[in-house]
Amino acid sequence: MADTLILVLIDGLGLQSACEAMGYMNALCEARLARLHPVRSELPSLSRPLYECILTGVQPVHSGIVDNAVVRLSTQQSVFHLAANAGLRTAAAAYYFISELYNESPYNAVRHRFQDDAGKPIQHSCFYDNDSYPDDHLLLDAEYLRRRHDPHFLLIHPMNVDDAGHREGGHSPHYRNTVRRLDSLLSLYMPAWLEQGYQVMVTSDHGVNGDCTHGGTLPQERDVPLFVAGDRFNLDCMESPDQTMLCGLACDILGIEGHGKPTLPGFLR
């Protein structure tokens, strides 16, 4: 059975900060309207490799996207490819790395910031290339895409948490307060998404360590959250998916075939 899915990929959000600073998202869990699963990121714990991992289910060492400096189109089948090939509508409000992986590489802001092309994997998009692009603007971009194009799969990818971590570290007040602000923004949109029947996954690529960076094996860099909400999720499921399973989970929700990674039995209703 096909459903509509919103994937919120919060760049740089570590698990501990998600547990301690996201009051709204944890309130949904306490009310049994959502569930939080811990996820261990793949390696290296860098953005572009992990975008590719989350959206294709392929580990960086096998995809070849092993560093942020690898600038080329993906050679894998992403959720965007599979959904578009199945006749579904796709959209993204996201950092320009996503465009370079699945639509156009290299990115040119003048040509590629706004895209409406039914022939591309990401058919409708608002991309940005400044790490400090405000999260509230990004959520507005996403809501515009959702209301105008009614996508079956929408990626929302805010960057301010990662930017705060790089500026002052993953244990800093600035970082934690940026997480709190994003949680507050989500509280303005999530109720309508859930009321309108969307399945929602809120996760991250990696966390940020005390050295203001990431890429290694520390728990602060690898441990990330996965919040799930919507009537397709079994909130009694105790097991947590691997990061490589998120693509397959998205495909299962969208009712599309073509992805070989198994998801956990009982994770979905």
Tell me: pLDDT of 152 over 70. yes
Asked if residue 258 lies in contact with residue 85, where contact means CB atoms within 8 angstroms, the answer is yes
- Domains of the chain in start order, with CATH, are 5-254 (3.40.720.10)
Asked if residue 52 lies in contact with residue 102, where contact means CB atoms within 8 angstroms, the answer is no
Per-residue pLDDT of 177-202, as tens digits, reads 999 999 999 999 999 999 999 999 99
DSSP state letters, 142-197 = HHHHHHHH--SEEEE---HHHHHHHHH-TTSHHHHHHHHHHHHHHHHHHHHHHHTT
**CA–CA distance, 45 with 52 (Å, rounded to integer):** 12
Omega before residue 44 within 30° of 0, cis: yes
Per-residue pLDDT of 239-258, as tens digits, reads 999 999 999 999 999 999 86
Per-residue pLDDT of 100-145, as tens digits, reads 999 999 999 999 999 999 999 999 999 999 999 999 999 999 999 9
Per-residue pLDDT of 205-247, as tens digits, reads 999 999 999 999 999 999 999 999 999 999 999 999 999 999 9
**Mean pLDDT for the chain overall:** 96
**CA–CA distance, 199 with 7 (Å, rounded to integer):** 9
**Angle made by CA atoms 195, 253, 45, in degrees to the nearest 5:** 105
Angle at which helices 23-30 and 173-195 pack, to 10 degrees?
50
Q: What is the pLDDT of residue 169?
A: 98
Tokens of residue 26, six digits: 């944890």
**In this structure, how many other beta carbons lie within 10 angstroms of the beta carbon of residue 156?**
25
Q: What is the pLDDT of residue 2?
A: 73
- β-pairing, 124-128 vs 114-116, is antiparallel
**CA–CA distance, 247 with 218 (Å, rounded to integer):** 24
Tell me: pLDDT of 1 over 60. no
**CA–CA distance, 105 with 101 (Å, rounded to integer):** 7
**Angle made by CA atoms 8, 128, 176, in degrees to the nearest 5:** 50
Q: Region 148-162: what's the mean pLDDT? A: 98
